[in-house]
Structure 1
Amino acid sequence: MLRNFAQRDMNRQNSNGRRFCLFPDQNGPQRMRISFATFTRFLLCIGILIGVTTSCTPTGGGDNSALLAAAIPSGGSGAQACLEQWPFASGAYLADNSVNAALDAGVFGDPTKATNKICGGGWTTGSTDVYSTGSSSECESGETCIVLEWTGKRVTNATGIDFVVYENAFLHGTNPNSRFLEPVIVEVSIDGNNWCGWNPTYSGSSSATDLRNPANYSDLAGITPVVFKQSDANSLTAADLFTETTDGYGTHLKGGGDGFDLDSSSFGNSGSGCNTTLRDSIRSSGFVYIRLTTAYSRNNSSYPLASDSFDQKADIDGVVARSVTNR
């Protein structure tokens, strides 16, 4: 019966009377026919399948566990859908625009995925609502990055953590000290030309055990899984996103992600065009742009990746600031 239904549909002519062959025509010569529209839909489906397969093929070798963990519905783990509307009117502000971001054809090539919402998958699962950093005019030469901003706003210096970067880290197995990591260098800017960062450091060896151990990283994002998910089940407040807690996973922000403080002693230790004058200006007046760069693309010796990194690109879920003001 299924074949008869398909044959009936595929033997229809389009408005121009054109036919393409697929099933035998029982009323004429032994040829195969399919409508032009159906044939086009068929090719489109094949194209999507090929595109997804290509985008999800590891380029760095290793197993497929990370890909399988990330291939989940609704943008994150659990049954609750990730809501479109940002849940906080104040106290937590989502970066809502990207600057000259590269638009790639792959599954994770849409930069709006880094500005639309936070859809954390929790400790053991990745999210699909993420953007893989690309090569854009805002990056340093040869690097992959994304630059974000808060439309019409600047991020100001508050007490404690000033903003949180949400990337797609998750546990590699069940050990909280073994994680799938693609670290990110974080820099901020007033004008989009001169950047100040912290002191991003990897202190381990090139072994898989060291590369997956979060204790070997400092002043880098992409280290802590994203716990926060803007769903109906969310119980975290805006203040919780910037508040630390300690549990079986160690000490971390309640909503996960990696926090950065403009008053940190390491702020201003890196960045193209950064000096003490610019550092102090950012501390006193705030910043407009944030640049997230896959650390491996800046220096693959200083920031090596485990072999199961699929494309050597960080996957950005978003950035949330504690305090903003009009520009």
Structure 2
Amino acid sequence: MQKRFQTKTLCLLVLMLFVSFSFCKKSASGSGEENLAALLPLLNAASNASVCPKSSLPTDIYLATTVVSASSNISGFSDPKKAVNGICGAGEMAGSLDVYALDITGAGATIVLSWGGKTVKNVSDLDFVVYDNSFRISDDSNTYAMDPSVVQVSIDGTNYCGFNPSYSGGNVNLLDSWTRFGGLRPVYYNMTTKPFSNEDLFINTGGSFLLGGGDGFDLDQIDPADPNDIGCDTTLAGNIKTNGFKYLKIRSASDVNNPNTGIKFPWPPGSYNGSDIDGVVAREIQ
């Protein structure tokens, strides 16, 4: 089963308008009951979206609050404010609809966020969490509909350092195939229906899964040897590790060259868009 977030979303809207269910794209082997069951998590996600985000953001959650640049134009998901208006996760089995969708390639495949001039500090263990809208698509706990994204950080908004992400070449839907990417794990945190404290969001529940979900990053793991970080070197990486960063770049993995193959990282065939950004939370800011 491959992730087609936009296709499934269109199906949900059609279903709500009582248009023929046959419009929705079905798998070759799926029965009508199976396809209906596949839509139920989206109904749940739509329900969550109706109560999230809150009209005012919680002051004790250190959300990235500023969109520095964003230029994708995915129908229905082109509002970049969705990337800074709070986290609206829908749990293990559904993806939030309160997201900003990136393009698969090109300028629109990237978004840059900041904390309004504040600095994200390097503290013990994980320093920030990236929230997308991955969800489990199999009884196998390792199989998810994912939106892998390459994450980089910067002090000046010009020179970026990243985490040297790696893809094993396995199934694109297997969590274990991807290392040091965003957009892999589901989001349990919902600022309205399932609130947590900022510190709660960094509690590891096992296997790199966090209490609030999402994908955590540790600045101490920045790798200046990442071939995609042209402006990064040992000095800049050390500066970020010591002093923190102000800007965060998220880029659909489908727009980034895999250094092991010389071609772009793989993306589920037929997907309409790239990564879906729900938000980013820092552990400490100053």
TM-score range, shorter chain: 0.7 to 0.9
Aligned equivalents of 1:120 and 1:142: distance in 2? 26
Q: How far apart are 1:141 and its partner, in Å?
A: 5.9
Report the Cα offset of residue 74 of structure 1: 4.3
The residue number in structure 1 matching 2:256 is 298
User: How many Å separate the matches in 2 of 1:191 and 1:105?
Assistant: 29
Q: 1:253 to 1:105 in 2, by over 3 A?
A: closer
Aligned residue among 151, 158, 163 for 1:193: 158
1:276-318 residue CA offsets vs partner (Å, 9 max, x unmatched): 111011111111110000001123745212235332x000000
TM-score (norm 1): 0.69
1:231 deviation in Å?
1.3
Is 1:218 matched up with 2:179?
Answer: yes
CA distance in structure 1 between the partners assigned to 2:158 and 2:52 by the alignment: 38
Equivalent in the alignment of 1:95: 64
8 Å contact 2:102–2:108 — kept in the other structure? Answer: no
In the comparison of the two structures, how many residue pairs are matched? 253
Match of 1:25?
none
Please say if residues 185 and 292 of structure 1, whose CA atoms lie closer than 8 Å, have aligned partners that are also in contact: yes
Structure 1's 103 and 308: CA in aligned 2 closer, same or farther, altered over 3 A? closer
Q: Does 1:272 align with 2:230?
A: yes
Equivalent position of 2:209 in the other structure: 252
**2:81 is equivalent to residue 112 of structure 1:** yes
Looking at structure 2, the residues matched to 232 and 68 of structure 1 have their Cα atoms a distance apart, in angstroms, of 18
Aligned mates of 2:193, 2:95 — CA distance in 1: 19
Partners of 1:240 and 1:287 in 2: how far apart?
A: 22
Q: Secondary structure at the match of 2:81?
A: helix
Rounded Cα–Cα distance in structure 2 between residues aligned with 1:62 and 1:183: 23
**Residue 272 of structure 1: CA displacement?**
2.7
What CA distance in whole angstroms lies between the structure 2 residues aligned with 1:87 and 1:238?
A: 10
Distance 1:189 1:307 in 2: 32
CA distances 1:232-256 after superposition (whole Å, capped 9, x unpaired): 542x22111111013xxx4411100
Note closer, same or farther for the CA distance 1:231–1:190 as it changes in structure 2 (3 Å cut).
same
| Cα distance, 1:105–1:276 mapped onto 2, change above 3 Å | closer
2:213 maps to a residue whose letter is: G
- The answer to whether the 8 A contact 1:62-1:308 is kept is no
| Structure 2 counterpart of 1:256, one-letter code | G
Amino acid at match of 2:255: S
CA–CA separation in structure 1 for the residues paired with 2:10 and 2:145:
21
Which of the residues 304, 310, 314 maps onto 2:275? 314
State the secondary structure of the residue aligned to 2:70.
coil
Kindly indicate whether the alpha-carbon contact (under 8 Å) linking 1:183 and 1:294 is maintained by their aligned counterparts in 2: yes
Rounded Cα–Cα distance in structure 2 between residues aligned with 1:233 and 1:280: 37
Q: CA deviation at 1:82?
A: 4.0
Q: Give the AA of the match of 1:73.
A: A
State the distance in 1 between where 2:199 and 2:268 align.
34
Shift, 1:86, TM fit: 2.7
RMSD: 2.9
CA deviation after TM superposition for structure 1 residue 68, in Å: 6.9
Secondary structure in 2 aligned to 1:161? coil
Identity of aligned residues (%): 38
Please tell me whether the aligned partners of residues 188 and 212 of structure 2 are also in contact (alpha carbons under 8 angstroms).
Answer: yes
Gaps of 5+ in 1: 1-51
Structure 2 unaligned residues grouped into runs of 5+? 1-8, 15-24, 28-34
1:153 match: secondary structure: coil
Displacement of 1:142 in angstroms is 5.4
Pairing 1:231–2:192 present: yes
Residue type of the partner of 2:268? A
2-structure distance, mates of 1:82, 1:143: 24
Letter in 1 for 2:215: D
- Counterpart of 1:262? 219
Q: What does 1:62-73 align with in structure 2 at a 5 Å threshold?
A: 63=27, 69-70=41-42, 72-73=45-46
Moved more, 213-222 or 102-111: 102-111
Alpha-carbon distance, 1:155 to partner: 0.9
Query: Aligned partners of 1:212 and 1:158: how far apart in 2?
Result: 32
Partner in structure 2 of residue 14 of structure 1: none
